[in-house]
Amino acid sequence: MHFVFITGGVASSLGKGIASAALATLLKSRNFRVRIRKLDPYLNVDPGTMSPYQHGEVYVTDDGAETDLDLGHYERFTNQSAKQTDSISSGKIYSNVLSKERKGDYLGATIQVIPHVTNEIKSFINSDIKNEDIIIYEIGGTVGDIESLPFLEAIRQIRNNKKISSALIHMTYIPYLSSADELKTKPTQHSVKELRSIGIQPDFLLCRAEREIPSDLLRKIAVFCNVPGDQVFQAVDMDSIYKIPLMLHQQGLDQSLVDNLNIWARSPDLREWYSIIERLDHPKQNIKIAIVGKYTDVVDSYKSIEEALVHAGISNEAAVSVVYVAAQDVIAKGPSVCLEGVDGVIVPGGFGERGTEGMIRSIEFARCQNLPFLGICLGMQLASVEVARNILGLHTADSLEFAPETTEPVIFLMEEQKGVTNKGGTMRLGSYPCVLAKSSKAREAYGKDTVMERHRHRYEFNSQYRSRFEEAGVVFSGTSPDDKLVEIFELQGHPWFVACQFHPELVSRPMGAHPLFKGFVFAASKKKQDKKSTRHTE
């Protein structure tokens, strides 16, 4: 077994997660059994209670872990599911240490970062390992941060053990100064110096830059950072993240890594990735999709949805451009202004009342204008409210989350959620089965009777209203196996009005678009083609 550690320097948000995922893809294409795990330095136990404005979306695994969005990149690139044990934070590490101290596991010792915290980190790194050939560990944060020091010290100790095969890739940033018309290497030099000051010498450097780095600068970086010249690589900005595996392969990163680890590897099979890039670069049409949400100032809040639309575009040979619409703007300007010219509307998940009326008006607009619509989690709940108010005539219909005193609670609190006070890890989380109704759009899209989908919510559709909805033309096309919980509903006679309680975006892949996104984008494409045909006829 071999460990690969990936650290970051100079600045945050360099794309370590995508680089880790791309590297894992290349190694998998060489027939290695690969796994990626994330070590995050923040003191939250997990990202579940973090605001999307601070940390982007919360990704959910099949087994119910609320994790960093990078695990989404891991899954999308490698096409394999992550687990709860693939992510840990400083908060969880310290929580484990303090729990052991309270139980007396340390036999009265004074608890210190070294060795107790670092031992806990090493314990995690070595835990739940089975038959993997290579495990990639991405360390969050930036070298020099106080929070990440225990993780780096643990890695130093692991790499100091000569019986363990490991490599360390340090990802840095090469800024371009327009006034000097130069790319600058000094920040990278200082970042490596910081890393070496704590006893870690990187084996590889991966240099992120906005433009191609000249070979003489790469040689300079190698000399000043004490890294072999053929182990310094560049990660230049690409127009699609799915081109990054091929970019790194063309530079020889995967071959250089396996040589460094002294392991034999077959040539990579990247035919599927070349096919994906071919479809990305040569779409047959362009469509525009609006995402109407409450966290649109930070687009990473909807990262998985955006990627799922890319995947659906690949499947439909279409280039999908996304327009982010703030739900509050819909209230102020009206949906006809905010959604002008779009070919489809998505209302995603979220928490809290802010912006919900704008989302409801957007749903009504999509329904009345026959615009393809996809509601996800909160989007499904608000679509239920919109239908109840404007089709069933239940004008006071609402969700108990926003209107506890409503007389028409079409969305209500799950029984097991009543009385819950802790916010972290207490929702309906992870993968659950969904039974699909025959002769429905959902059943046609999936092509099967039962599916597994990932959830993250507390509130549910109130089944006491099901018969009234069905009388109004609503099809409950997906339910729990016991038929008690509504998972999907759709409207008869609409090109595509489908809303689901789960998060389909979390299991979409570039090599296999999620059926609901694929069907949604197909409907949006057809809607645009019909518009063109109508204008041409006129």
| Catalytic residue positions, numbered | 377, 503, 505
CA distance 47 to 49: 6
CA distance 299 to 250: 30
Instruction: Compute CA distances 45 → 8, 82, 88, 92, whole Å.
Output: 22, 18, 8, 5
Contact between residue 237 and residue 213 where contact means Cβ atoms under 8 Å apart: no
What's at 340, amino acid-wise? E
- Which two three-digit tokens encode residue 505? 């975006």
CA distance 54 to 89: 16
Instruction: Bin 296: left if φ > 0, else alpha if -120 < ψ < 50, else beta.
Output: alpha
Who's near 299: CB < 8 A, 6+ residues apart? 306, 324
CA distance 375 to 384: 10
Question: What are the two backbone dihedrals, phi and then psi, of residue 329, each rounded to the nearest 5 degrees?
Answer: -65, -30
CA distance 149 to 379: 41
Q: Residue by residue, what is the 3-state secondary structure of 230-272?
A: HHEEEEECCCCHHHHHHHHHHHCHHHHHHHHCCCCCCCCCCHH
- Which two three-digit tokens encode residue 133? 């050939």
- Kindly write down the DSSP assignment for every residue of 477-526, as one continuous string: EEE-TTS-SEEEEEETTSSSEEEESS-GGGG-BTTB--HHHHHHHHHHHH
Contact between residue 285 and residue 310 where contact means Cβ atoms under 8 Å apart: no
CA distance 241 to 313: 15
